[in-house]
């Protein structure tokens, strides 16, 4: 029995409205980028797989409005997505799909547009459904759209952590900093961590990270941890063409080793057991308050 099937059975056996505090709280991670083309979704997928390989319970949620593609990167055709949940054509247990490495995920699709125009009754239903999986996960990763739309801003400012993906390209650096500046100026409590993708080598990656961190420190009085980098690796492109995550298709590649190191850095920086998180209920409560 794969993990997604086990998860569906576990969720189905629970009451649809668990009491607050029932079980451990999942840590909510939003992954974003200042611009498109930096490999954000590919990073999110392989980062989720790396966390899972380290024994963590992970759910991947494709929250990219209009450009949801996590299922494409995995070569999986999702039978259900968020749209079916919001239209009450399927419950939360049914829309949980299974990807490579038995990674449970929820496809976004057109349902993401619906999510931001729900009635109060439908929002309550969505909340109760999502809450059913809260105590079955250690991490829930939201892969958001590139740039800073009002929808992405709500995800960023409601999560426990925001991982910002950039590349050494000057426009990517500028846009990553601009995103953090806008978010920080309106929501200074947001916790950012920086990832450099498609780096030529460690020196280039750290140089890129330092540029953003120095600007944030000087102009925003903000200390942004540099979580790590992923090397520019031909295996990544090959894996995308195969529609298989690069950490699965080429586990010994430089990129696969880098993403494993990133996951370890994340877990080592803030041990899960030592961090108080708001969990999915706190995330949804914040998100609902920022609905307008």
Q: What is the CATH number of the domain that holds 269?
A: 3.40.50.300
pTM of the model: 0.87
Place of tokens 């189905």: 12
Q: Is residue 8 part of a domain?
A: no
pLDDT band at 167 (very low <50, low <70, confident <90, very high): very high
Q: What separation in angstroms does the CA of 273 have from each of 23, 132, 144, 269, 270? A: 14, 22, 26, 12, 8
CB 235 within 8 Å of CB 246 = yes
Place of tokens 């950490």: 247
- Residues 190-239 have pLDDT tens digits of 999 999 999 999 999 999 999 999 999 999 999 999 999 999 999 999 99
> Can you give the pLDDT at residue 88?
86
Q: Is residue 18 part of a domain?
A: no
Judging by DSSP bridges, how do beta strands 161-166 and 226-231 pair with one another? unpaired
Q: Is residue 248 part of a domain?
A: yes
Q: What separation in angstroms does the CA of 141 have from each of 43, 106, 219? A: 11, 10, 29
CA distance 70 to 65: 12
Give me the percent of the chain exceeding a pLDDT of 70.
82
Q: Is residue 245 part of a domain?
A: yes
Q: Is residue 96 part of a domain?
A: yes
Please indicate whether residue 166 or residue 280 has the higher confidence score (pLDDT).
166
The count of structural domains within the chain is 1
- Residues 228-280 have pLDDT tens digits of 999 999 999 999 999 999 999 999 999 999 999 999 999 998 654 445 566 77
Q: Is residue 6 part of a domain?
A: no
CB 176 within 8 Å of CB 166 = yes
Please indicate whether residue 283 or residue 65 has the higher confidence score (pLDDT).
283
Q: Is residue 13 part of a domain?
A: no
42, pLDDT greater than 90: yes
Structural domain of 276: 24-288
Q: How many CA atoms lie within 13 A of 278 on its CB side?
A: 16
Place of tokens 């929820």: 106
> Can you give the pLDDT at residue 116?
62
Q: Is residue 119 part of a domain?
A: yes
Please indicate whether residue 50 or residue 97 has the higher confidence score (pLDDT).
50
Q: Which residues contact 241 (CB under 8 A, 6 or more apart)?
A: none
């Amino acid at each position: 029995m794969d993990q997604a099937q086990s998860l569906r059975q576990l969720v189905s056996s629970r009451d649809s409205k668990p009491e607050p505090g029932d079980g451990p709280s999942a840590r909510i991670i939003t992954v974003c980028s200042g611009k498109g083309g930096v490999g954000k979704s590919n990073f999110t997928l392989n980062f989720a797989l790396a966390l899972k390989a380290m024994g963590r319970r992970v759910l991947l949620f494709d929250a990219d409005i209009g450009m949801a593609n996590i299922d494409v990167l995995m070569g999986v055709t999702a039978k259900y997505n968020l749209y079916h949940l919001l239209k009450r054509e399927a419950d939360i247990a049914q829309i949980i799909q299974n990807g490579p490495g038995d990674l449970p995920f929820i496809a976004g699709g057109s349902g993401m547009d619906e999510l931001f125009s729900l009635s109060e009754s439908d929002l309550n239903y969505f909340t109760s459904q999502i809450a059913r999986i809260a105590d079955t996960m250690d991490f829930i990763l939201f892969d958001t759209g590139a740039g800073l739309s009002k929808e992405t801003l709500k995800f960023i400012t409601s999560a426990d952590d925001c991982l910002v993906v950039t590349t050494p390209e000057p426009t990517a650096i500028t846009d990553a900093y601009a995103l953090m500046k806008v978010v920080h100026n309106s929501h200074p409590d947001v916790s950012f961590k920086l990832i450099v993708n498609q780096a030529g080598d460690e020196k280039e990656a750290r140089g890129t990270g330092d540029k953003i961190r120095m600007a944030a420190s000087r102009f925003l009085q903000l200390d942004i941890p540099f979580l790590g980098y992923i090397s520019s690796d031909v295996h990544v492109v090959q894996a995308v063409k195969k529609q298989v995550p690069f950490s699965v298709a080429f586990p010994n590649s430089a990129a696969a080793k880098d993403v494993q190191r990133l996951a370890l850095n994340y877990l080592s920086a803030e041990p899960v057991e030592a961090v108080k998180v708001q969990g999915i209920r706190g995330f949804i409560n914040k998100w609902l308050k920022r609905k307008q």
